[in-house]
Structures are given as structure tokens and as C-alpha cells.
Amino acid sequence: MASVYDRHVDLNQFMEGVKKRNPGQTEFIQAVQEVAQDIYEFIEDKEEYHEAQILRRIAEPDRVVSFRVCWEDDNHNIRVQRGFRIQNNNAIGPYKGGIRFHPSVNESVLKFLAFEQTFKNSLTGLPMGGGKGGANFNPRGKSDAEVMRFCQSFMTELYRHIGPDTDVPAGDIGVGGREIGYMFGQYKRITNRWEGVLTGKGQEYGGSQMRPEATGYGAVYFLQNMLKHKGEDVEGKTAVISGSGNVATHAAEMITKLGGKVLTLSDSGGFIHDPDGIDQEKIDWIKHLKNVKRGRISEYVDEFKSAEYHEDARPWSVKCDLALPCATQNELSADEAKALVDNGVQGVSEGANMPTTLEGVKVFHDAKIMYGPGKAANAGGVAVSGLEMSQNSERISWNHERLGEMLTDLMKGIHEKCVEYGDNGDGYVDYVKGANIAGFKKVADAMLAFGVV
């Protein structure tokens, strides 16, 4: 009997379906739109992907786990938060992706992150599927004891959904070494198993060297590869960076090491502009401020008089050669992209996930700026997490130097894959298209091999 099911919906019909099935999930819809427009072009004449409804299946998470997290604050109030783990796709390896603790966390944000993670992990060439998790918990202003109680409560539910061959979470916004330690301790206590179930662990208990640096360094290596492709270099160039957390401070560190000058860093309160440059000594001071004192970036100007603090503002109006958004999603609008282009920016490398809006990305493309999207540019973090998994399984640890070389090679490989699928033939590389297609193809081909599952 002939089928009446239409396998060949066009992009608009496909996106209408995504919107209908995910009402109000704006971040997720934005992420799917960005990928689907490139994939549609790629699969146009490839019947097998249409037949198997691959894109439709990738845009539907394997599993969305949502749970209550109760904990007691220092004043003995009982607090209730919502925790999640999104297991998006495990076609090419165990689910892998960070845990985010931030008040803005909801299902849409985590679904977008898990979706993006699937392509990013595929691009690394390592066997990792895509996932993401978190809770609408704000660690800012909480005591260590409160953070510990929250992490323990969170893991008391999460542990049953994860495992070293099932799903291996890591850190993300609001989840650093302290939080990973508390969660790993609780997992070990509940299961009585020491296994590589989380990455980003402390070096004393199975963490990989180079993991803290990997995302920020990797984003700069990706930028370096883009520049090299055009016969350029980081040396002597000025850089504007947003954020002042793990990714931003390590991106700043590598720009400085390569002879560039970092002009800005920020947090959700505003940004600092230091025309003298934020050198290694100042970066070390910021790391201590953020990780130990848990202070705010505004305090920088009290310590370094050459700098100005701009409250409630983002740094994109500062003239620069290079821009690295390293804070959060949708932190760089079309107008801000225009300001960067008008000020002569040459390259943009995203340390954060989806920091540039769809309209902002269009501005960069129209101006033919070298633009490295997060799923390629910030993949160094998850790549070294993949190496942490390997080291844990083998019960070995590689040294800093070896891991540094592996990270450099991985970022070079990701850049090459993006060029393979994104070279427009006119000298311009569309890195978004390259990353989307290269990331998609491996996952899609694995899914085809499994049949209808």
C-alpha cells in the first residue's frame, strides 16, 4: 500500500513542526534552526537521510529527565530546585556534556545545549554522544556548606541516570572544581564505586591535567588556525573577551601567551576595559578573585588603576582585532556584531555556547569575518574530558605537555573538518556550515546503521 507520509518536508515545514512540538522553548528552537538550515542543503539529494527521518530524530532528545532537588540552607529553610539531565543522542558514544547551575536554567536552555553538544562531540572525533544537565540553583552568595548540600541532593537523584559507559557529565556555568568534587564524592558514597563518571575532577582523584585550561586555550587555538588559514597570527593583535570564569580567563591567558593583548573581561554586572592589557599577573589576580574570594569583576578597577568599569554593559563596543564571547548564550546581538565589524574586527571565536544571536551571525557572515561557532571553537573542553575518560578507564594519567599537544592537534583537526565542509570556494570559509555538516554526518551515519531505534 502506498504511504501518504511525507518524508520530504521542506525547511520551513520542519521548523514549524519543531516549534509546535516545543512550545516556548526559544533557545532550543534557535539552535535547531541554525543547524537545520545547513543540514537541509547538505541532505537535499541524499535520500537515505530523508527516508530514515534522521534530522527529525536528532532534534528529539533520547530522554529528558527532570527532578526535584530539596536542600536545607544555613538558616534551616527548606529550598526546592528543579534539576535536569537531557540525554540527547548516544549514537557514537556515551552521553557527554556539562552540568550548569544558574537561575536561568530551564528545559529549553538545556535542550539547546544538549543538541549542540551532540555535533560538537562528534566533531572532536572522539566517541562521545551529546547530553547536558543542570539546575536553576545559583551558587553565587551561597556558603560552601550550602553548595555541598545542594550538590549532594542533586547527585542523589542524578546518579541513577549516569555511569561511565552511560552518561558522563562535566562542569559548565556555576559548576567548577568545588561542585564536581562534592558531586563525585556523593556518587562514590551512594554506589560504592570509584569510576570515571564525571570529568573536570581534581587532579588528586582522577582529573586530567589540562582540563581546566582546555576550553579557553582551545578557543584561542581555533582562532589561531582560522588566522593561519588566512596567513595571519594572534601576535600583536588586540582582543575583547566577555566573561571572567573558567573559559574567559583561560582564553585570556592563551591570547597573552601568543603575544596578543587582552583589553576586556566581564561578568553579569558589567565589563572592565584595561587599555594597558590584562597580562598574566592580572589574570592570576582575577582567577583568585573569582575562584577563591568569589568576588565580582568590578573589584578589578580598585586594584588596577589603568582600567575602567562599565556597569550593566557588554564589551563589544571596544575597538579590537579579535573577539571572544566566553560568558553565556545570546550575549552578542546583531547591533553589537555590527559595532565589532565597524571597528574592524577580523576574527571571532566563541568560547561560550551560542553567544551570538542568529541575526548577529548573519552580520559576521555578510561582512565575511572569520567566525568560529562555539560547537567548533569551544570543543577543546569536551575533547580533554574525553581524554580524561580514557585515562580513568586505563588507570593512567598523561602529563601536561602530552595533553597540550593532543589538544593542539584536536583543535587543528576540528578546524580542518570545518574547512572541508565549509569552504565556499571563493576564499571564504563558512565555519558554521562546516561544523554543522561534519558534526551531523558522523552521528547520522551511525544512526542509519542502527535501523529504526
Selection from 352, 348, 301 nearest residue 330 by Cα: 352
CB of 328 to ligand NDP, least distance (A): 4
Cell of 103: 537561575
| Residue placing its CB nearer to ligand NDP in the complex, 414 or 447 | 414
Selection from 130, 146, 173, 283 nearest residue 220 by Cα: 283
| Residue placing its CB nearer to ligand NDP in the complex, 55 or 410 | 410
Q: Is 282 a catalytic residue?
A: no
H/E segment holding residue 5: none
| 363 in Cβ contact with 338 (< 8 Å) | yes
- SS3 readout for 214-277: HHHHHHHHHHHHHHHHCCCCCCCCEEEECCCCHHHHHHHHHHHHCCCEEEEEEECCEEEECCCC
CB of 211 to ligand NDP, least distance (A): 8
User: Rounded CA gap, 98 and 350, in Å?
Assistant: 17
| Residue placing its CB nearer to ligand NDP in the complex, 43 or 209 | 209
Q: How are beta strands 167-170 and 322-324 bridged, if at all?
A: unpaired
Residues of this chain that interact with ligand NDP (CB under 6 A) are 171-174, 176, 215, 243-248, 267-269, 326-328, 331, 351-353, 378, 381
Sign of torsion over alpha carbons 336, 29, 221, 257: positive
Q: Which residue is nearest to ligand NDP (CB)?
A: 245
Query: Which of the residues 96, 132, 201, 433 is marked catalytic?
Result: 132
Bridge partners, residue 79, by sequence: 71
CB of 187 to ligand NDP, least distance (A): 19
CB of 375 to ligand NDP, least distance (A): 9
CB of 399 to ligand NDP, least distance (A): 20
- SS3 readout for 155-185: HHHHHHHCECCCEEEECECCECHHHHHHHHH
Residues marked active site are found at 132
